[in-house]
Structure 1
Amino acid sequence: MEPYVVIIVFLAVGTAFTLSAAAGFGGSLILVPTLALILGTKSGVALSALLLAANNVVKVYAYRKTIPYRKAVPVIVLVAAGTFLGAQLLIAAPEKVVTVAVVFCFAAAFLIESLRLGRWRHVGSPILAFLSGATSGFSGTSDPLKGLAVRGLDLDRMHLVGALSLVSLIGDTTKTAIWTEASLLTGRHYFVALACVPLMLVATFFGRRFNTRVGERGYTGLFWTVMAGYTSRLLVNL
């Protein structure tokens, strides 16, 4: 790999980890397309899953005091159930149909929050959690629904990031196991992840510091900016 490519990769990794630590999710928005472009789709997606899983371990430790375990468990269970069924039933669904559905969910969730329809957020959270898992077989579609599902739990920003970090850890670890079993992740990829550990520590520190200083309103803006980024990426792929 050329030296300039290595620099680009580490810049993308550092930026992705910082964003993920600040918002609780969003790392794949930067990491997946960058690594897929440089390494190829399968290798890029597989390495991204491994890096994000390792980074989520650091995030869970950093936010360990503000992880709402009892509230997060139902989302985790539904995400896992959706993933299990989605792998069997929805894997053949046209990607454009799934993309349109995700964009629709994003628009509906934004409208519900803007109009302060709190009851609908609580009702929609389990549904979005299940759909997040069901669509996880499609690159880039699970994170937006996961974000909306956890957002529906009505948590303050610190607990929201903690919950997102825990849910993301479960999802990315599952994907990493699948890619390793399929031999798409080898010892070389794990060595790259190990080399990125210092970046994970530094990025998590700065991301968490940003989160503690930005305030609830600032975090809400960051959250919906990340969601808009995912939506734009999905629309481009239509």
Structure 2
Amino acid sequence: MLTRYLPVFIVLSFIAEIIGTIGGFGSSVFFVPVANFFFDFQSVLGITALYHLSSNLSKIVLFKKGIDKKIIVSLGIPAVIFVSIGAYLSKYFDPKILTYFLGFFLISLSLVFLIFKHLHIQPKTKNAIVGGSLSGLSAGLLGTGGAIRGITLAAFRMNKDKFIATSAVIDMAVDSSRTVVYYLNGYMHKHDMYLVPILIAVSIIGTYIGKRILTRVSQEQFRNFVLILILLIGIISVIS
């Protein structure tokens, strides 16, 4: 089936990479729903982890001047710990129920921040730890935790480059951890490996185009764009 629709899959993955770069929290939030149309859920988790490693590496290279080391430690370490837990538990939970829960959570949270523009999460270490833990757990269970991480990072009012670079470094560590667990769970299949070099090319080109588009976007537009994307992700999660 995928051989027949491979061009469609590649185009949709390319769009997911561009939007994920502009939004600042990675392509998996869009790639996972797209891949679900072509693969079973466990295969989606395995392919997403491999694809995202390349995607994040591209972002780190292109946005490396904006990395915030303090946030990487406070948000990244709990994310890495909890993504391993989530990846292990993914065998035991119904992904449909979890997706509904995540969808309603993202819809509610994004609407609150869009309506009450001056409201924001306090940029404290404990909030970064909670956000990192939730995003890691979500990434392990559902294949994507970027939206939760995006909400958390938005609280720290980072500029665009710092937001994207910091998110990418954390995501890189998260993906490295869950890739190992997904492999041990048997989610990575030999017959899907031909997609990896294709998706690597998609991630590099898509990230570059996304960065070029970002140069034309103001900081306030960027923040609103992130929140609107998170709202759409929540709606898509519930509907799909």
Task: Indicate whether the TM-score tops 0.5.
Answer: yes
**1:90 positional shift:** 9.5
**1:214 positional shift:** 0.8
**1:169 positional shift:** 1.5
C-alpha distance 232-3 of structure 1, shift in aligned 2 (>3 A): same
Name the structure, 1 or 2, with higher relative contact order (CA <8 Å, separation 6+): 2
In 1, distance between residues paired with 2:89 and 2:194? 35
**1:156 positional shift:** 1.0
Say how many residue pairs are matched.
237
C-alpha distance 109-128 of structure 1, shift in aligned 2 (>3 A): farther
Cα displacement string for residues 102-156 of structure 1 (whole angstroms, at most 9, x for unaligned residues): 6346634653573524563546333222222233343156232121122222211
Cα displacement string for residues 17-74 of structure 1 (whole angstroms, at most 9, x for unaligned residues): 1112222225223321222221222222321221122211111111111111222221
In 2, distance between residues paired with 1:199 and 1:124? 34
Residue of structure 1 in register with 2:148 after alignment: 145
Residue of structure 2 in register with 1:73 after alignment: 73
Which stretch has the larger CA shift, 8-17 or 164-173?
A: 164-173
In 2, distance between residues paired with 1:32 and 1:101? 14
Which of 100, 115, 118 is residue 116 of structure 1 equivalent to? 118
C-alpha distance 100-36 of structure 1, shift in aligned 2 (>3 A): closer
8 A Cα contact 2:32 2:44, kept in partner:
yes
In 1, distance between residues paired with 2:88 and 2:189? 26
Residue of structure 2 in register with 1:35 after alignment: 35
Residues 88-167 of structure 1 correspond to what in structure 2 (within 5 A)?
96=97, 99-100=100-101, 103-104=104-105, 107-108=108-109, 111=112, 114-118=116-120, 120-122=122-124, 124-139=127-142, 142-167=145-170
SS in 2 for 1:39: coil
8 A Cα contact 2:106 2:233, kept in partner:
no
Question: Kindly, what percent of the aligned residue pairs are identical?
Answer: 15
C-alpha distance 10-200 of structure 1, shift in aligned 2 (>3 A): same
- RMSD, aligned CA: 3.0
Amino acid at match of 2:169: L
SS in 2 for 1:63: helix
Which stretch has the larger CA shift, 17-26 or 54-63?
A: 17-26
8 A Cα contact 1:106 1:145, kept in partner:
no
In 2, distance between residues paired with 1:142 and 1:216? 23
Cα displacement string for residues 177-222 of structure 1 (whole angstroms, at most 9, x for unaligned residues): 2222233324554442123333222211110111121111221122
Tell me, yes or no, if structure 1 residue 200 matches structure 2 residue 203: yes
Residue of structure 1 in register with 2:5 after alignment: 5
C-alpha distance 115-172 of structure 1, shift in aligned 2 (>3 A): same
Residue of structure 1 in register with 2:52 after alignment: 52
8 A Cα contact 2:50 2:196, kept in partner:
yes
Residue of structure 1 in register with 2:180 after alignment: 177
Amino acid at match of 1:66: G
Q: Which runs of 5+ in 2 are unaligned?
A: none
Q: Which runs of 5+ in 1 are unaligned?
A: none
Which stretch has the larger CA shift, 91-100 or 151-160?
A: 91-100
C-alpha distance 214-39 of structure 1, shift in aligned 2 (>3 A): same
Which stretch has the larger CA shift, 155-164 or 94-103?
A: 94-103
Residues 199-218 of structure 1 correspond to what in structure 2 (within 5 A)?
199-218=202-221
